[in-house]
Each structure stands twice: as structure tokens, then as C-alpha cells.
Amino acid sequence: MSFTNIVSLRVELPACSYSFSVQVPEDANVTQVKHQISVTCPGNPKAAGQRLVCRGRFLKDDEKVCDIWKTPEESRVVHLAVSTDAWTGEQPRPHSAQAPAPVPANIALPASQADTPGLATPTNRVPPPAYIPLPPPSHTHLTTPSPSSLAAPPSPFSNMPPRAWTYVALRHNVALLALMTNFVEQPTLAIPVQTDPQLTSMLQTIGLHTQSVPLPNGNPARQLSVEALRRLGYEWPSVLDEDYPPLTAGGLDFKKATVHGRPFIQPVDPTVTPTPYQIHALKVLTHTFAILSLTPPPDLTLSPSISSARVISPSEIVIAPHVNQVLQQLGLPQVPAHAQGQIGNAQIPIVVGNGGGRARQFPMRALLAPLLLLFFRTALLLYFFAPMRKPLGWIMVLVYVVYEIYSAVMGALPQPPRDAPGLQRGAGAGNQQPAQAGQAAPN
């Protein structure tokens, strides 16, 4: 004689904000589950008008419960959709008491979200989650060092959260510690306690050993997290800024558990009602797990421009006394005598380059349009005149094409700077002033 295990399925009815549980055999199929829902659910919806959704897909009628949930650790939650003509009675009403925020029944780390099941919505109280992941401890076991392990110093987290989520990670760790008020062995976490004096005093009450983490660029961690979340299109959850209720005795007791080789905490007795202190921590965790799984936007840093123009005052430009000797050896016009000390009152804009001695690139983009137009003009000329039998015509067309290409290339090349007219006049005056000075010397 064989006995069939009876399992409990949690049914969520989002259209009515109602949830309930049904008891079905483990080997029952989806059709039998629908009939049981028709008997248990208020309003008694017909089985033909029901659609069950689990993990983002509709369940087929021939699927069995044991095939959908293969392990007892999985959260057996289905979402029910009922057509309007399938109700035989009054539809169920939402629960009178507003339940706290939903808590995942089996919470996985943000790095691996493929195994995370759906969320279970409580009815009358916050049920304790089956497993909550623990951050890795800050201490490490003594092992033989390897080149990969020596490349970077040990970190309190295996995957350190981005700097944008530093404040969120702080609230996340505090919520975990709030759940473990009755936990004997508390891990050491690296969190910036200097960002929030209230959290510092609460951590001291819990007995957490903390160490400071430098904040990026001296900005408050909370403002950085709020700005990063706003850029992603989300609003900052106010529950992260709310105060924790007073710490009371009792509540859930947790113990260590290992699931798939990863550390978790598990309630010793899930039937115990958590304290308001722990309930608030569960609300915080529902938001921090979602935020820490997001990729923060990249930091907007202003890259230095390649070149910037600035006006240099005349006092900054000083010409060496022997510059005329060098110019005379090179065969260039000399600088006038009145400019030997400083340039005149005119301000000269000088472009100061930041990119170093980077080679000038040939402006190919500026040549595309002229060469394309030249190609069409030449094709049109050959189409109408067709100088196939006239060598003189070919020579004229070839000369025309070469001239146009030469003009386009010369027009695209950067032109050398022209000398200012005042500088040429000054140079001429400089050539005359030595002669005048020489004539005046004998006098």
C-alpha cells in the first residue's frame, strides 16, 4: 500500500489582491489543482476559466506538481488568472489588514538570479524566509599563497559592491544583522559607518565590529546611491531611511545553512512570529536585494580636451635679447627694438595643445565630396562628348581631372599661418632703427 504525499501550494490572485493555499497530492496534475482551487477559492471559479502561471509561463493541464517543483526547498507559488465569465459567486476581496512587504522565500545572491524563485506574499504576518544569504566573512583561512591571490588584498566581500551602492550595502548589512539579533556568531562586515550616526549607534547596540571604507571623492554615500538610482529610472525607497523599531526580546532564531555550497542563514523555527525589529529588516532586504542586483550607471567624468584656447597677457611673453642674431643667421626679418623686452599691448590668442606631439592626419573626409562631384562631372562629360577617337579630347579631359584633383587636395590641406601686417611693418621699422641709432651716436 503506497501513500501519496500531500503538498501545499500558495495561490496568488493579483486581480483581487488575494492569496490562499490549497492542499493537493504531490502527483496531481494541473487540472486537479484547478478543481481544488475551484472548491477552495471564494467565488468558486470554474476550472475551464482558470490559467495558472508559474515562473513566467502558463502551466499545461497535463503537468504534474512533482515535475514543476522537484525539491522541497523550492517555493510552491502559482499565480491565478480567471476570466470574468468563470466566476460562479462573488469575487474575493482583498485582505482587511495590509500585509508588510513581500519577502522572498528563497533569496539568492544578486550575482546568480537564475535560481531565484518567485516571491511569496504573506497574508496575516511576514513569514520568515527559508534562506537568506550571508556575506563572506572578513577573515580568511591560511593557505599557500599563489600569484593570483597576491595580486590584490583580501576584501570583506567576494564581489565588492560598486561605490554607487555603498550606502545600499550598508543598509543591507544592517538589515541582515537585525535579523540575527539572536544569532551567536556574527560576521565582521566592512561598511562606512561614518555616513550615518544613527546606524553607528545601532550597530554598537547589536555588537557589530565595523571598519571604515573611504567614500568616493568625499561625497555622502547616500546622495551617491540616490543619484545612481535616479539615473536608472527608479525612485529611492523611503523604507531605507526609516528608523528601526525598538529592539525587543524574542523573535526568530537563525542558524547557519549551506545551500549549493553557499552560506545562508535559516530560521530555526519558521512558525515563530518575528519581532517588529526583524519585520522592518525584512522590508529593507526586499529593496536592497533588488538594488544591489542592478548595474550602476557609469560615472560622468569630464575628459580633458585635446586643445584649449586661452589669451596670454603681454607680460607672459618675453623675447630673448639675442633673438635678432638668430633671425639674422636664418635670413629672417628682425624683431623691432621696442619689442625686445615684451610684446606690445595687443593680446595674442595662443592655442595650447594638451595632446602632445600627435601627428596631423590627412583630411580625407574633406576630399570625399569634391572627388565625388568630380567623378560625376567627368562621367557626364564622357557620356555626351565621348572623345574616344580624338586624342586631343582625351588630353583635355585628363588635364581637367588632374587640375580638379590638385585644387581639391590643396583646398583640404591646412594653410600655413600668415604673418600679421603689423609684424611686417614692425620688422621694417626695426631695420631702419639701427641705422638711425647709428647716425645719432656720433652726435
75 and 162 assigned to the same domain: no
Judge contact between 264 and 133, C-beta under 8 A: yes
Tell me, yes or no, whether 129 and 227 share the same domain.
yes
CATH number of the domain within which 75 lies = 3.10.20.90
Q: How many residues are listed for the chain in this entry?
A: 443
State whether 164 and 264 are in the same domain: yes
Contact 118, 86 (CB under 8 A): no
Query: Against a cut of 0.75, is the pTM above it?
Result: no
CA pseudo-torsion sign 82, 87, 91, 92: negative
Compute the distance between CA of residue 164 and CA of residue 106 in angstroms, rounded to an integer: 26
26 and 124 inside one domain? no
Q: What is the pLDDT of residues 202-234, one digit of tens each?
A: 555 444 444 444 444 444 678 888 888 888 888
227 domain residue, yes or no: yes
- Cell 475551484 found at: 38
Q: Which of 21-35, 82-96, 134-148, 159-173 has the lowest mean pLDDT?
A: 134-148
Distance separating alpha carbons of residues 180 and 172, to the nearest angstrom: 13
Q: Where among 292, 311, 329 does a domain terminate?
A: 292
The candidate with the shortest Cα–Cα distance to 319, out of 303, 335, 332, is 335
Q: How far apart are CA 34 and CA 32, in angstroms?
A: 5
CA dihedral 290, 295, 297, 303 (to 10 degrees): 160
- Confidence band, pLDDT 50/70/90 cuts, at residue 29: very high
* Other beta carbons less than 10 A from residue 371's beta carbon: 14
Structural domain contains residue 78: yes
- Cα distance between residue 349 and residue 317, in whole Å: 12
Residue 403 has pLDDT above 80, yes or no: yes
What pLDDT, on a 0 to 100 scale, did the predictor assign at position 253?
Answer: 80
Highest mean pLDDT among 75-79, 188-192, 246-250: 75-79
In total, how many domains does the chain have?
A: 2
**122 and 45 both lie in a single domain:** no
- Give domain status of residue 199, yes or no: yes
Q: pLDDT band at residue 50, thresholds of 50, 70 and 90?
A: very high
Residue 196's SS3 state is coil
Residue where one domain finishes, among candidates 292, 317, 350: 292
Q: Is the distance from CB of 309 to CB of 351 less than 8 angstroms?
A: yes
Q: Strand 189-190 vs strand 210-211: parallel, antiparallel, or unpaired?
A: parallel
pLDDT (tens digit per residue) in 181-199: 655 444 444 444 444 455 5
288 lies in the same domain as 220: yes
User: Is 129 part of any domain?
Assistant: yes
Question: Has residue 285 got a pLDDT over 80?
Answer: yes
Q: What does the alpha-carbon distance between residue 342 and residue 324 come to, in Å, rounded to a whole number? A: 14
Cβ–Cβ < 8 Å for 333, 427: yes
203-to-188, 220, 402 alpha-carbon distances in Å: 11, 19, 82
- Number of neighbouring beta carbons within 10 Å of residue 54: 18
Say yes or no to pLDDT of 70 above 50: yes
Note whether 177 and 211 are same-domain residues. Answer: yes
In order, the DSSP letters of 150-178 are TSS---SSSSPPPGGGHHHHHHHHHHHHH
Specify the pLDDT at position 219.
Answer: 46
122 lies in some domain: yes
- Looking at the fold, whether 134 and 260 belong to one and the same domain comes out as yes
Residue 276 lies in a domain: yes
125 within some domain:
yes
Q: In terms of Cα–Cα distance, which of 59, 79, 71 is closest to 9?
A: 79
Distance CA 324, CA 326 (A): 5
Percent of residues, the chain, with pLDDT higher than 90 = 3
SS3 337: helix
* Domain residue limits at 238: 103-139+157-292
DSSP calls for 36-63: HHHHHSTT---GGGEEEEETTEEPPTT-
Asked whether the predicted pLDDT for residue 109 surpasses 50, the reply is no
CA distance 107 to 356: 53
44 and 71, same domain (yes or no) = yes
* Residues 266 and 253 sit within 8 Å (Cβ to Cβ): no
Residue 293 has a pLDDT of 82
Residues 119, 257, single domain; the answer is: yes
Give percent of the chain with pLDDT exceeding 70.
Answer: 53
| Highest mean pLDDT (candidates 27-31, 69-73, 159-163, 427-431) | 27-31
Higher pLDDT, 127 or 24: 24
CA–CA gap between residue 252 and residue 265 (Å, rounded)? 11
Q: Calculate the average pLDDT of the chain.
A: 66
Q: Is the pLDDT of residue 6 over 80?
A: yes
Average confidence (pLDDT) over 42-51: 90
In a domain, 331, yes or no: no
Helix (H, G, I), strand (E, B) or coil at 398: helix
Which of these three, 270, 292, 314, is where a domain ends? Answer: 292
Handedness of CA 269, 272, 277, 283 (dihedral sign): positive
Residues 62, 107, single domain; the answer is no
Q: Residue 12 is placed in which grid cell?
A: 496568488
Query: Does one domain contain both 164 and 107?
Result: yes
More reliable by pLDDT, 394 or 316: 394
Q: What is the mean pLDDT of residues 236-257?
A: 82
pLDDT, residue 162, reads 67
Task: Give pLDDT tens digits for 298-332.
Answer: 653 333 433 344 445 555 555 556 667 767 766 67
Specify the pLDDT at position 360: 55
